[in-house]
A and B are shown apart, each in its own frame.
Chain A
Amino acid sequence: MTVGNKRNRFHPQMFALYIAFASIIMMFGAFTSAYIVKQAAGNWLEFSLPTIFYISTIVILTSSLVLHMSYSAFINGQERKYKLFLVLAFLLGLSFLALQYLGWQELYAIGIDLKGSISGSFVYLISGVHALHILGGIAAMIVAMLQAFTLPYQVTDKRKLRFQLTLHYWHFVDLLWVYLFVFILLYR
């Protein structure tokens, strides 16, 4: 659909995706700055983050790696490996969401609910809005899988680009989580 001049190495759609990243970063930047401002104002409840969040972090990082291997397999003609790893990355993405959910339950169990304290509200809000962005990535992977299993295997420029868009987005939301997690760990 793109009306490109095919003059640039960096495909316009990829370029557009990176611009969208800037927007998403501003959005989470707003959350984390609000967090810092609110914390400096005092009246701040400290608590430790659920251990499950450590596990989910490892899971999402693994998922990124696996998706990357799927992409390499895709361009190197290893069809089976490509499909297998794609499904695996997808499942890991789903488990990340499940783990986040368990993490929220763990928080709730230690008495940190959504409205009790602002620090707690922030953790739910930030991880929740992040989870919404993960859902976007999951949707992209579902489309990728549909294509992988319905279209005959073929490495075309177009399919390569599509895969790259999914891949880069997935890496991005993954690193975004790492940032948010480390941020909350440091600024408790």
Chain B
Amino acid sequence: MAHVATHEEDVLIKEHGWDDHFHDHHHGDKYQSNFISHYIFSMDHKIIARQFLITGMFWALIGAAMSVVFRLQLGFPEESLAWLKPVLGKWIVVNEAGIGTLAPEFYYALVTMHGTIIVFFVLTAGLSGTFSNLLIPLQLGARDMASPFLNMLSYWFFFLAGVVMFYSLFISTGPFAGGWTAYPPLSALPQASSGSGTGMTLWLVSLTLFVVSVLLGGVNYITTVLNLRTKGMTLWRMPLTIWAFFVTAILGLLSFPVLVSGFFMLMCDRGLGTSFFLSEIFIEGQAMEFVGGSPVLYQHLFWFLGHPEVYIIILPAMGLVSEVLSVHARKPIFGYKAMVYSILAIGFLAFIVWAHHMFMSGVNPFISNFFVVFTLIIAVPSAVKVFNWITTIWKGNLRLNSPMLFAIGFVSLFISGGLTGIFLGNSAIDIQLHDTYFVVAHFHIVMGVAAFFGMFAGVYHWYPRMFGTFMDETMGKIHFWGTLIGAYAIFWPMHYLGMAGVPRRYYSFGNFDAFSHFDDMNKFITVAAAIVFMIQVLFVINFFWSIWNGKKMKTKNPWGATTLEWTTPIEAGHGNWPGKLPTVHRWAYDYNKDDREFVPQNVPMAEGEKAGEDHH
């Protein structure tokens, strides 16, 4: 498959490479010498990437298992959950008849933890942490991140955040239970609910540590992209993956600090008696002292992060998908520059739409109009991207392997979920749809499942780069079809629930006759969720099985890709390239050009050859 044989490529780098005297100093070895510094406190971006990935997978399993448990309660309220007692202990209440039910407090705790874990730990750290770390230095031709030390700290802050959150699952009052958005008053008054006490304190500590991790990572990613590109790697020659990680890091760096401001104010309300977010509250008939605060203020601060956060999640997935589609369609990405401008436009617009989450929170309807308009404008760059993905694979020579299938699945999901966003973005329609299962369906499809698909595409595609072997294709295909069909089975029906007004975050609909005809639909959703969960376990098995038993990677560039990460040795050591650094002579998408199947970025231009899209 590979046209340029391995040894020729080495010659390429030797002749055209750029000697940065990296290996003269031997600084690589001093922190790579033993097991602990190599695999645990590693500063090598390739190891850190795998640490993020495996930690993310751990959390994904926990977060997903939680959703199965609360779905079982919701879909089958009469069935006994007593069999979960060994795991959940007192949170399963068994009545005289021996029927075990999930305690309502813990139902809310599970919903909250599910959201927090998946959004932050899996789809932020696990996705952008993994692939930014792996690909930024490798695709740019850099030896490592700008500061490998801060990079290591970034992982360990994430790890610590995880430890604190994990611990909060086991305390006697339970973890925080007021929803992943942590609105006051439930989050501000320790006595408001059982999870609002220690559980919420730990939630705040954990997420503050998490923000530190994001900021340390982000500073590094941005600095690396702007400063450490190899010779010839102009901004307009960067693969779309890098553009996506770059803009993601900027979004994170500018929006997470605002969340921390909100957290500090929340901490003051909780511990020091201030009333930033609290006003005239009664608890159990007792008037509290708080006056003059506003819970809507917290919502503004939260969603100023919250909306960019959804793009922090989806942009890296978009970048990975663009790359995978182009490689496996054997065609240049369609409209490279339009793709870059769309990423930038989405990044910019992401900052001025946050109040579309608050149409029903009592914000001024005239101000809402402003947010409606900008929200709907986001559909434009989103549509540009969708169009370009479809035209990229149009009439391509498609290899329908696991990474490609997941990338195509991503496009499908992003369309389905994006369309419902346009309904929600209209503040008038949102009166009916807000806080119903329609919203749950919207964001799970467009963000949850789509981002997971982007991540899966990335894992299957770059797995050989990370572990030197391939994942099993049969298991991969079962994983893909099961997840795609299963995910639509779970979330499609939710739109109907939501249009009928079924509210989200309810423990039981037993008291609502109007919703009783949805009982079977709820059962169906629960069964689908359980099956999809089991299929993810198959993925995890495939992942670990393939590290040792997968097909070995025999050539450096098994996919016939053009980007630089495939020019390093199969066992790339510290510093990534053994000798000189490769230099870049073209954009990243020279597929099927002038009778050549593909031309890597480090191959010099032939005489009279016209550049791809890069220098128009």
Could you tell me which A residues sit within 8 Å of B by CB distance? 1-8, 10, 12-13, 15-16, 19-20, 22-24, 26-31, 34, 37-38, 41, 43, 114-115, 117-118, 121, 125, 129
Contacts and interface: CB of A to CB of B under 8 A. Distances in A.
B260 A3 contact: no
B345 to A, nearest CB: 20
B272 A114 contact: yes
A80 to B, nearest CB: 33
Contact of A117 (B215, B228, B292): B292
Nearest to B258: A30
Given A115-B275, A125-B264, A3 B145 contact: yes
A8 B294 contact: no
Nearest to B293: A118
Contacts of A10: 227
B440 interface: no
A7 B289 CA distance: 60
A115 B257 contact: no
B272 A115 contact: yes
Contact of A30 (B142, B261, B293): B261
B146 A34 contact: no
B228 A3 contact: yes
A26 B276 contact: no
B57 interface: no
Interface in B258-295: 258, 260-262, 264-265, 268, 272-276, 289, 291-294
A16 B219 CA distance: 6
A19 B222 CA distance: 8
The 9 A-B residue pairs with the shortest CB-CB distance in the complex, in nearest-first order:
A30-B261, A27-B257, A30-B258, A115-B273, A121-B274, A26-B257, A12-B146, A16-B223, A3-B144
B20 interface: yes
A5 B220 CA distance: 15
A180 B144 CA distance: 38
Nearest to A28: B261
Given A27-B261, A34-B265, A121-B268, A3 B223 contact: no
A31 B275 contact: no
A22 B219 CA distance: 10
A16 B146 contact: yes
Given A2-B147, A13-B147, A30-B258, A8 B227 contact: yes
Contacts of A43: 291-292
A20 B215 contact: yes
Nearest to A17: B219
A24 B41 CA distance: 28
Contacts of A23: 215, 219, 253-254, 256-257
Contacts of B223: 12, 15-16, 19
A37 B289 CA distance: 22
B146 A24 contact: no
Contacts of B611: none
B254 A26 contact: yes
B479 interface: no
B147 A1 contact: yes
A121 B276 contact: yes
B265 A125 contact: yes
A43 B257 CA distance: 27
A30 B144 CA distance: 34
Given A114-B274, A121-B275, A27 B292 contact: no
B273 A114 contact: yes
B143 interface: yes
Nearest to A25: B257
Nearest to B298: A34
Contacts of B143: 3
Contacts of A118: 274-276, 292-293
Contact of A38 (B255, B258, B273, B297): B297
Given A23-B215, A30-B258, 14 more contacts: A3-B146, A3-B148, A3-B228, A23-B219, A23-B257, A26-B255, A26-B257, A27-B257, A30-B262, A30-B304, A34-B265, A118-B274, A118-B292, A118-B293
A16 B220 contact: yes
B2 interface: no
B228 A4 contact: yes
A122 B482 CA distance: 53
A37 B297 contact: yes
B219 A20 contact: yes
B226 interface: yes
17 contacts: A2-B147, A3-B22, A3-B145, A3-B228, A4-B228, A5-B228, A10-B227, A12-B223, A12-B228, A16-B220, A19-B218, A23-B219, A23-B253, A37-B300, A38-B297, A118-B276, A121-B268
A16 B265 contact: no
Contacts of A26: 253-255, 257-258
B148 A1 contact: yes
Contacts of B301: 30, 34
A114 B362 CA distance: 28
A28 B147 CA distance: 26
Nearest to B255: A26
Contacts of B257: 23-24, 26-27, 30
B149 interface: yes
A20 B219 CA distance: 7
Interface in B286-319: 289, 291-294, 297, 300-301, 304
